[in-house]
Amino acid sequence: MTMGRRHFLGAMAGSAASLWLPRAAAPAQAEGLFWGTVPVPETAPGDPVAAFDAAFPAATSPSPIPALLPRALAALDHHAASLTDRDRIGIVDFSVPSRTPRFTIVDVASGTVSAPILVAHGKGSDPANRGWVEQLSNRPGSDASCSGSFVTREIYSGKHGHSRRLIGLDPENSLAEERGIVIHAASYVGRSLAEAQGRIGRSQGCFAVSPGSIADVLERLGPGRLLFAAR
């Protein structure tokens, strides 16, 4: 069941937490990006978990609606003048460890949410290499991740292959372009590493995803769209 855009935005912005509560961790997925999007079911009276199970009887975990979605939707409106496309938004939740897929793309137009993928955080955000973001920074040379709203820009080919430039739209990430914070692929991001080490590798502040995910991320988050990161 796919919601209309107006219903989807209203439900999400109004109270995403009221839809249902997670009951089990998401099952392991094959490497790569989107294993198919999961439609957001409409709310219904009664037990929200039962409503989810009724909509998706074969599912073993709830629809991966990001906890940050209400804030991301607010950012979508706040930065409307800086965005040329509002149909999709990327969301990165730095409150969960790097071993957990935490990069989701929401298709606002169709009301679907992608399966989350792994994404690295910066070395400066996790100096002890524990797999958790301990601090965020906008300072050049910090090698840390920064939070806030970013607008995606053009693709370029660099040392990590095809990558997408980002521009920070908030005070806490205003130097993202100067720092070279981009979306790129990295061999230190992958499910096998997460399972073997309990964490993936760290970037220099960039949103690094697995080589198997990068093509889909670059395509789905084309230029002029919002990427929102927070914890």
Question: pLDDT (tens digit, 9 = 90+) per residue, 167-180?
Answer: 999 999 999 999 99
pLDDT band for position 2 (cuts 50, 70, 90): very low
How many structural domains does the chain have? 1
Q: What is the CATH number of the domain that holds 188?
A: 2.40.440.10
26-55 exposure pattern, b = at least 16 Cβ within 10 A, e = fewer: eeeeeebbbeebbbbbbeeeeebeebbbeb
Residue 85 domain-assigned?
no
Residue 175 domain-assigned?
yes
Residue 55 domain-assigned?
no
pLDDT band for position 193 (cuts 50, 70, 90): very high
Sign for the CA dihedral angle at 39, 36, 16, 181 comes to negative
Residue 181 domain-assigned?
yes
Residue 4 domain-assigned?
no
Structure confidence by residue, pLDDT tens digits, 97-124: 999 999 999 999 888 999 999 999 999 9
Whole-angstrom Cα distance, residue 37 to residue 117? 12
Q: Which residues constitute the domain of residue 209?
A: 123-230
pLDDT at 64: 65
- Please give the structure tokens belonging to residue 50: 């039962």
Tokens 């964490």 -> residue: 199
Residue 71 domain-assigned?
no
Of 15-29, 97-111, 213-227, the one with minimum mean pLDDT is 15-29
Residue 25 domain-assigned?
no
pTM: 0.78
Residue 184: beta bridge partners? 208
- Please give the structure tokens belonging to residue 118: 């792994």
Residue 38 domain-assigned?
no
